[in-house]
Amino acid sequence: MLDIKFIRENKKEVQEAAKNKLLDLDVDKLLSLDERRLTLLQEIEELNAQKNNINDEIAKSDNREPIIAKAKKIKHKLSELEPEYKKVKKEYDNLMVKVPTVPSKDTPIGETEKDNKVIFESKKPSFDFKPKDHIELCEALDIVDFDRGAKISGYRGYYLKNEGAMMVMAMMQYAFQKMISKGYLPMIPPTLAKENVLFGSGYFKGVEYDGDVDEIYQVATSDKEVDGKKSTDKKFLVGTAEPVLLAYYSGEILDEKDLPLKLCGFSPCYRSEIGSYGKDTKGLYRVHEFYKVEQVVIAPASVDLTNEIQQEMVEVSKEMHEELGLPYRQLQICTGDMGTGKYKMFDIEAWMPGLDRWGETGSASNLKDWQSRRLNIRYKDFENKKHYPYMLNNTALPSVRPFIAIIENYQQEDGSIVVPEVLRPWMGGIQKIEKDK
């Protein structure tokens, strides 16, 4: 969410950003609604002030009838203005959440992932045999069970088994320790979150959750408060640790001397993938649940500083891909393929020879103050002035897609899988996954 003053003063740039991000937004209509909203609010406040003074006027007057008549007029006028204000405010709010962050000047202008810019690409591996995909390899080695996963969990369900389960846990341990070594505060955050957390971090397309477009699972079971009463809060399963890490400071005022705050979180992740119906229907590439180590940074409101921090976050992801021995490339994401609130965005993709494609394994984004305004997080600078901090996030390492890349890149002609050296400390000394003989 942007500052309405900024939108008013930069109307042309905001409208252009909406166009380039393929968003249906009429900035002129938004500003018109804002003017009407403020006018109505002022009128309502003035009438309420008069209403509050009526009792004093009645107590001091010998002729109460004109005052009572005045009170009736105020009440009638309020009954007209308040519903109109609520209607205008709702329209205004619905448009405000669609207002995008104006992307960086070096962000490529484009409509789809085909328009993303390749920044770096490592050499693809060559094989002396035709590489198999991870589905065939995992089933042959009995390290993933897709059939029973679908039986128990439904479409896109799976069981990690044996060395497959061990490898995924090794990946998460490796990534968690890597982030700690880079100065990130480790957390295992809740994965059950209230509605304001998901809205605040930008995971709803609109003001409220819409199950037809938001790829988030809502928990149907009602909860109870500490006093035993039924909770009115809606609860959701998070698709990443990002929203719960950022919301840790929601409603708080931080000190600039403590910034940037660097956090990393390990969590299960849940995604409905409703917008991906028919895509990647087999295997692990697109699933409903997985694990991930996520990193977020809350920084002072400085574009130069956060550009540096974002690059540092990307470098950590690149370092892990290199240590895991995975061929990868770095992309700068174009306007049409980036989210509403994003200022600048980079993706990391690993090469998956069995699938014969690049697959996204990480994404680093700078959202400036778009999320901090929604979450009401501010900080005091050294002159005691308050600002909204800039917020960044990056996928340090997810479980399934790098797992695919490891399985497919480390496969041997006999169908065995060599375990990357950096993961072996968490694999009980296992160096190769082989069929039982």
Please, which residues have CB within 8 angstroms of residue 287's CB and are 6 or more apart in sequence?
156, 157, 158, 273, 400
From 365, 374, 401, 408, the catalytic residue: 401
Asked if residue 402 has a cis previous peptide bond (ω within 30° of 0), the answer is no
From 8, 286, 373, 424, the catalytic residue: 286
Annotated catalytic, 61? Answer: no
Q: How far apart are CA 161 and CA 171, in angstroms?
A: 15
The count of C-alpha atoms lying within 13 angstroms of the C-alpha of 361, restricted to the half-sphere facing its C-beta, is 33
Annotated catalytic, 360? Answer: yes
User: How many C-beta atoms surround the C-beta of residue 296 within 10 A?
Assistant: 26
Tokens 């709010």 belong to residue: 93
> Which burial class, exposed, middle or buried, applies to 136 when counting CB atoms under 10 A from its CB (0-12, 13-18, 19+)?
middle
From 363, 365, 372, 399, the catalytic residue: 363
Please, which residues have CB within 8 angstroms of residue 333's CB and are 6 or more apart in sequence?
107, 108, 116, 342, 345, 346, 347, 363
DSSP per residue, 280-316: S-SSSSS-SEEEEEEEEEEE-S-HHHHHHHHHHHHHH
Angle at 281 between CA 242 and CA 314, to 5 degrees: 35
Angle at 350 between CA 349 and CA 354, to 5 degrees: 130
From 37, 271, 374, 378, the catalytic residue: 271
Q: How far apart are CA 325 and CA 308, in angstroms?
A: 26
User: How many C-beta atoms surround the C-beta of residue 378 within 10 A?
Assistant: 19
Please, which residues have CB within 8 angstroms of residue 7's CB and are 6 or more apart in sequence?
14, 27, 30, 31, 99
Q: How far apart are CA 87 and CA 78, in angstroms?
A: 14
From 16, 82, 91, 360, the catalytic residue: 360
Annotated catalytic, 286? Answer: yes
Q: How far apart are CA 250 and CA 201, in angstroms?
A: 10
Dihedral sign, CA of 40, 41, 44, 46? negative
Q: How far apart are CA 113 and CA 330, in angstroms?
A: 13
- Give the residue numbers marked as catalytic: 271, 286, 360, 363, 401
